[in-house]
Amino acid sequence: MYAVKAMPRPRSLTPAQLASAALAVIDRDGLSALTMRAVAQELGTSPMALYRYVADRDELEALVVEEVLSTVDTAAPPDESWQDRVGVLVQRMRVAIGGHPAVVPLLPVHRHRSPTVLRWTETVLGVLAEAGFAGTRRVVALRALLAYAVGAIQLEHLGPLSGSGTDAMAGLSPAEFPHLSATAADARRVRPDAEFDGGLDLLLRGLAVSSD
Amino acid sequence: MYAVKAMPRPRSLTPAQLASAALAVIDRDGLSALTMRAVAQELGTSPMALYRYVADRDELEALVVEEVLSTVDTAAPPDESWQDRVGVLVQRMRVAIGGHPAVVPLLPVHRHRSPTVLRWTETVLGVLAEAGFAGTRRVVALRALLAYAVGAIQLEHLGPLSGSGTDAMAGLSPAEFPHLSATAADARRVRPDAEFDGGLDLLLRGLAVSSD
DNA sequence: ACCTGAACACCGTTCAAGT
DNA sequence: ACCTGAACACCGTTCAAGT
């Protein structure tokens, strides 16, 4: 028999546990409650134990982002038109994020590191390619879709919800802001889903026209 | 003569000085360097002196955001088509923010409290109204433009610049991500301005089609 | 090898005191 | 009235020590 190597003490946690504990903290107490100490407490260990699994707080945040995004189905949907297929892909992303609104501010920062985002982007590009988009036009189309998705999701979740937004809108003097105060009334009647769909539809129409 | 009231000690600072000192800190050392202590040092006072002018750090951030946005000309531009006029208004916003990329993460959070954003929105709505948009269609058009602007500006400034983004894209296996690796090469040749303009143009085309 | 506890260098903010 | 300095309750992270 060969000499038995010193048995490494088994890890007591997995990155997946880290991610879901951190997400639980955020969902329950908000993004500002996400601290190394809070996540450690959630897992019943000491704060420093986390550093066996992540290099720093930044990496913990990236883990949370991927935890949320990993639920997105990145397979190409079966719909007939390419507009519908792109629309479904964007909607899947929106729905996944909508379940955890408090993580929204983390998304722009950590989007790059997410394997799910890479696969999602690959699928979107495939649909666009089939639809005849190539070269610069495809780059512009992709970035426009991403920009709209990122922006619309943020507007939806860091928007009027924060409270002071709607208040400021409601207290506008119709004399100084005629269009704005008129639109504020209309805006209250538009459901977030319809707003998101409507904007996405505008962009998809623009893409369709540009491909003529 | 009446009894002379106790002369209030004159304030040594103005909110404008606070705002520009805070912006100077951010521009020089980045957003993470924005602390009450750093701004106080920039102004040559004690940290607690700032609390005479702002209630808390949040209000300081709002001041910085407005400092950046206040340079935006919110008057309706003279261009002929409504598409061009909306386009110019969005571009003005982008240019103002582009001068201070480090404040980008603050914008979604404090956008609501900015008087400049209110005036800008009023102007955009006016152009849309002239173009025949009303009711729900106008709400959707405005929110779509805002979403695109917010998202595209963030993608531009927290995008590949952060480093790890382009690295991740460059190291993709063409086998697993054929479209993505092909597009990554194309993407490097598209200038940020052209990308932003192109996406905005897609949205404006969509708006034009929807108004038929 | 993995985990812990104390400690360091920061934060924002409260409070009592100075002029 | 306005400003200051010390102090409090937090952070993320380093380090030396335990098992």
Nucleotide closest to residue B8 (CA–C1'): D1
**Cα B172 from Cα B9, distance rounded (Å):** 64
CB contact under 8 A, B112 and A165: yes
Task: Return the percentage of chain B with pLDDT > 90, whole number.
Answer: 83
CB contact under 8 A, B139 and A195: yes
Do residues B34 and B87 share a domain? no
Q: CA quadruple B41, B47, B49, B55: dihedral positive or negative?
A: positive
Question: Same domain for A53 and A123?
Answer: no
**Could you tell me the pLDDT band of residue B9, with boundaries at 50, 70 and 90?**
confident
Which chain C positions come under 7 Å from a protein C-beta? 1-6, 10-16, 19
Query: What's the pLDDT score for residue B88?
Result: 97
Question: Read out DSSP for A103-121?
Answer: GGGGHHHHGGG-HHHHHHH
Minimum distance, in Å, between the CA of residue B171 and any CA atom of chain A: 12
Cβ contact (<8 Å) for B155 and A141?
no
Q: Is residue B149 part of a domain?
A: yes
Least confident of A18-22, A182-186, B84-88, B122-126: A182-186
Written as six digits, the tokens of B7 are 């002369």
Q: Whole-model pTM?
A: 0.92
Residue-wise pLDDT tens digits, A139-149: 999 999 999 99
**B195 shares its domain with B115:** yes
pLDDT confidence band for B1 (50 / 70 / 90): very low
Q: At A186, which CATH number? A: 1.10.357.10
Q: pLDDT tens-digit profile of A110-124?
A: 999 999 999 999 999
Protein-covered nucleotides of chain D (CB closer than 7 Å) are: 1-6, 10-16, 19
Give the CA count within 13 Å in the CB-facing half-sphere of A168.
17
Asked if A124 and A198 sit in the same domain, the reply is: yes
Does residue A113 sit within a domain? Answer: yes
* Domain carrying residue A180: 82-211
Do A91 and A149 belong together in one domain? yes
The percent of residues above 90 in pLDDT, for chain A, comes to: 83
- Does B39 lie in the same domain as B142? no
In single-letter form, the type of residue at position B160 comes to P
Number of domains in chain B: 2
In-domain check, residue A4: no
pLDDT, tens only, A52-98: 999 999 999 999 999 999 999 999 999 889 999 999 999 999 999 99
Residue B53: CATH number of its domain: 1.10.10.60
Rounded-to-integer distance, Cα B152 and Cα B200, Å = 9
Of the pLDDT bands very low, low, confident and very high (cuts 50, 70, 90), residue B97 is: very high
Question: Is A8 inside any structural domain?
Answer: no
The single-letter code of the amino acid at B85 is R
Q: Give SS3 for A172.
A: coil
Q: Give the residue from A198, A206, A204 showing the smallest Cα distance to A86.
A: A204
pLDDT of residue B104: 97
**Does B5 fall in a domain?**
no
CB proximity A17–strand C (7 Å threshold): no
Measured distance CA(A186)–CA(A182) in Å, rounded = 7
**Both B63 and B99 in a single domain?**
no
Q: Half-sphere exposure of residue B71, counting CA atoms within 13 Å on the CB side?
A: 15
**Record: contact B203-A158, CB cut-off 8 A:** no
SS3 per residue for chain B: CCCCCCCCCCCCCCHHHHHHHHHHHHHHHCHHHCCHHHHHHHHCCCHHHHHHCCCCHHHHHHHHHHHHHCCCCCCCCCCCCHHHHHHHHHHHHHHHHHCCHHHHHHHHHHHHHCHHHHHHHHHHHHHHHHCCCCHHHHHHHHHHHHHHHHHHHHHHHCCHHHCHHHHHHHCCCCCCCHHHHHHHHHHHHCCHHHHHHHHHHHHHHHHHHHCC
Task: Name which of B139, B167, B176, B212 to mutate to probe chain A: the one with the most chain A Cβ atoms within 10 A of its Cβ.
Answer: B139
> Within this chain, do residues B35 and B127 fall inside the same structural domain, yes or no?
no
- Rounded to a whole number, what is the distance in Å from the CA of A100 to chain B's nearest CA? 17
Candidate from A137-146, B117-126, B160-169 with smallest mean pLDDT: B160-169
The dihedral region occupied by A106, where left means phi > 0, alpha psi between -120 and 50, and beta the remainder, is alpha
- The residues near A97 (Cβ < 8 Å, ≥ 6 apart) are A68, A69, A103, A104, A107, A153, A157
Checking B21-25 for CB contacts under 8 A at 24+ apart, the result is B22/B60, B22/B63, B22/B64, B22/B67, B23/B64, B23/B67, B23/B68, B23/B100, B23/B103
- What was the pLDDT predicted at A3? 37
Instruction: Report, as an integer, the average pLDDT of A166-185.
Output: 82
pLDDT tier for residue B158 given thresholds of 50, 70 and 90:
confident
Worst-scoring range by mean pLDDT, A11-15, B94-98, B194-198?
A: A11-15
What is the distance between the alpha carbons of residues A67 and A60, in angstroms, rounded to a whole number?
A: 11
User: Does residue B127 sit within a domain?
Assistant: yes
